[in-house]
Amino acid sequence: MHYLSRASKAINVANRTYRIGSNHYYRLAIPYSGWNEHGFCSNSRNSNRKDDNNVVDLSQYPTDKIRNFSIIAHVDHGKSTIADRLLELTGTIKRGHGVAQYLDKLQVERERGITVKAQTATMFYDYNLKESSTNYLLNLIDTPGHVDFSYEVSRSLAACQGALLVVDAAQGVQAQTVANFYLAFESNLTIIPVINKIDQPTADPDRVKEQLKSMFDLDPSDVLLTSAKTGQGLEHVLPAVIERIPPPPGKSDSNLRMFLLDSYYDEYKGVICHVAVVDGSLCKSDKISSIATGQSYEVLDVGIMHPELRSTGFLLTGQVGYVVSGMRSTKEARVGDTLFHSRKTVEPLPGFKPAKHMVFSGLYPADGSDFEALSHAIERLTCNDASVSVARESSTALGLGFRCGFLGLLHMDVFHQRLEQEHGTHIISTVPTVPYIFEYSDGSKVEVQNPGAFTSDPKIRVVASWEPTVLATIIIPSEYVGAVINLCSERRGEQLEYSFIDSQRAFMKYRLPLREIVVDFYNELKSITSGYASFDYEDSEYVASDVVKLDILLNGQPVDAMATIVHKLKAQRVGRELVDKLKKYIDRQMFEITIQAAIGSKVIARETISAMRKNVLAKCYGGDVTRKKKLLEKQKEGKKRMKRVGSVDIPQEAFHAILKVS
């Protein structure tokens, strides 16, 4: 007999019938062909094939036999490939399954080769130690590597007690390696350093060990050497996880407390919540409540990700799984929330800081009649990405649309791509902006996310303004130090730290205005360093800055969708670049078009697109000159009238072109 933590719940393992709580009887079954008596898949090592009636008994895994860990690394250092190999090693997925990066399930993830959403997989591992075998339940969380998705990483680490810090054997420690290390370090996680890709010809594990020692004070003897591509050294990873990472610290005899890690919307099941059970246990048909919203729900389904959803009927202390509770919208499932049994009193778990949106952009349908389709697509997509903020807005140039907030430029780009791929929408996006704070002469302070919301009342003037900054970490080869310092100076950066990791690589820390890095800074950095630079940033405080609103006018009429806020010192150059680009993309009309960049009533740049001219004198072969003058004057009057009532067509390419102007 095995006993659960909640009182009077006997589990009869022999008959496979379980009683948990009052009037709850069911089998703990995961319908999967080929499970052995230890609860392992038949292609796992040391497994003996049994009949299809065998089940996985989660009660065999108290907290001391559970390990929760994540994989963190810089972009393209091999996180997802290592996750694949570990899933194969434990028999969770079949070898040669034909799908690389199995946990990367979005089309945009497979096309770009990046991880956008953190994914969880439960593995069962038979650990042999000193001629005895013990079964362990391992929860693996594969996290994104790009800075824009560090919010996903922080949520994932909250459910873990340890992390595999993966570093490329050829590239060594890079900027996001540093950022992810400190995320894990601040969360008090046990860190296991793993040097991956040791099979590469340019691999230098000894140099990378020295970098880990100098940067993070990690003992070189603790480093694991692996190659996810060939499988070399991977047999040491899971034993290290079991030996070094502590079990979950929860109390099995306490009231239920669950941490809500993530949620997404499924068309058939509704909202599916990913949860970590910190204390107590959860059963199907239980009544649970949310501390954040105060609403109560009935648990309709509960189970683990193996790696697909597998219903188990309950989750115990320390286990990570999913819950289906009949929530109608992901807005009810607030990330970082504490879920508990209804009519019980519990202390809330420490939650997350709300997502801080760093970039704002307007989204409009390319065809104004498609607004409802775009609205529906954005609503469905935000069900699977709760870190996007959405508010309706209207533009005189583009009609009805949405003002969306994103965690970064890549996050915005991925969101646009998913709108087009998954929902078939065609959109126009405005120039990305960052939030500013303005103080006006009447004493009011306003945060401005949309330049169109900037006050145009001449009686109210701006007396002070503040812009957001970031703390940027840059790691580069030593020979590019001078070029990078020049680039950061041009972008109004303030150097905070400068040191050498080793004889070949330099570490730099700058305070930079967010506006200066949000569009093309990373591309410029990669260009001047021949692609060897790595870059990461975290948001910092607002600092006083002299910024102004730059308007674009076509034939004297402002185009609100093209307005932007820039630093006063750069306004002249940015205005000149904007009008030059627009001149290339706006088609000629039958009337003259003037393109102007203006600050208030002062025009700082201008270009003119000449009118297409019809030769009205072609039929005049001779005769008096006054006849020709009369025809030209008539044409001139007609062009004035067209200019007065005509509208300028702005192609979508024009909006894309001005994205690169900073």
Residue 78 counted as an annotated binding residue? yes
- Is the bond into 458 cis (omega within 30 degrees of 0)? no
Summary mean pLDDT of the chain = 78
H helices of 477-587, in order, are 481-490, 514-517, 521-528, 571-585
pLDDT in tens, 345-357: 888 877 666 667 7
Is residue 100 a known part of a binding site? no
More confident residue, 411 or 22: 411
Query: 437-545 and 548-660: same fold?
Result: yes
> What per-residue confidence (pLDDT) applies to 144?
65
80 marked among binding-site residues: yes
Is residue 656 part of an annotated ligand binding site?
Answer: no
Which pLDDT value is given to residue 66?
93
415, pLDDT greater than 70: yes
Q: Is 493 annotated as a binding residue?
A: no
The string of pLDDT tens digits covering residues 61-110 is 888 999 999 888 887 788 878 888 888 888 888 776 555 555 655 655 55
Residue 462 annotated as binding site? no
- Give the pLDDT band of residue 27 (cuts 50, 70, 90): very low
- Is residue 521 predicted with pLDDT exceeding 50? yes
Please check if 158 is assigned to a binding site: no
Q: What is the mean pLDDT of residues 22-48?
A: 35
Is 143 among the annotated ligand-binding positions?
yes
The CATH architecture to which 257-341 belongs is Beta Barrel (2.40)
Tell me the mean pLDDT in the region 35-58.
41
Region of poorest pLDDT, from 86-100, 310-324, 563-577: 86-100
145 annotated to a ligand binding site: yes
Cβ contacts of residue 153 below 8 Å, gap of 6+? 70, 72, 118, 143, 144, 180, 183
Distance CA 103, CA 108 (A): 13
Between 586 and 223, residue with greater pLDDT? 223
pLDDT of residue 625: 75
Alpha-carbon span 196 to 205, nearest angstrom: 9
> Hey, what CATH class is 63-244 in?
alpha beta
To the question of whether residue 144 is assigned a binding role by annotation, the answer is: yes
Which option is the CATH number for 548-660: 3.40.50.11540, 3.60.15.10, 1.20.120.350, 3.30.70.2570?
Answer: 3.30.70.2570
What is the edge-to-edge ordering of all strands in the sheet holding 389-395? 389-395, 399-406, 359-365, 427-429
Stronger pLDDT, 581 or 590, i.e. the higher one: 581
- Looking at the predicted structure, is the pLDDT value of residue 273 above 50? yes
DSSP letter (8 states) at residue 232: B
Higher pLDDT among residues 615 and 234, named by residue: 234
Model confidence pLDDT, tens digit, residues 329-376: 777 877 778 899 998 888 887 766 666 777 888 888 887 788 898 988
More confident residue, 312 or 520: 312
Residue 165 has pLDDT above 90, yes or no: yes
- pLDDT of 17 > 50? The answer is no
Residue 394 has φ and ψ, to the nearest 5°, of: -130, 150
How many degrees, rounded to 5, is the angle at CA 163 between CA 159 and CA 164?
145
Give the whole-angstrom CA distance, residue 237 versus residue 260.
Answer: 28
pLDDT at 657: 62
**Mean pLDDT of the region 210-219:** 90
Tell me the Cα Rg of the chain: 30
Q: So what's the pLDDT on residue 626? A: 81
The beta-strand segments (E) located in 332-444 are 338-341, 359-365, 389-395, 399-406, 427-429, 436-440
Instruction: Please state the domain extents for the chain.
Output: 63-244, 257-341, 359-432, 437-545, 548-660
Residue 198 counted as an annotated binding residue: yes
Reported pTM: 0.70
Q: Domain 359-432 - what CATH class?
A: alpha beta
Work out the number of other CB atoms within 10 angstroms of the CB of residue 64: 12
CATH class of 437-545: alpha beta
Q: Binning pLDDT at 50, 70 and 90, where does residue 35 land?
A: very low
Tokens matching residue 68: 């929760």
Mean pLDDT over 491-517 rounds to 89
44, pLDDT greater than 70: no
Question: Residue 661: pLDDT band by 50, 70, 90 thresholds?
Answer: low
Q: Is 196 annotated as a binding residue?
A: yes
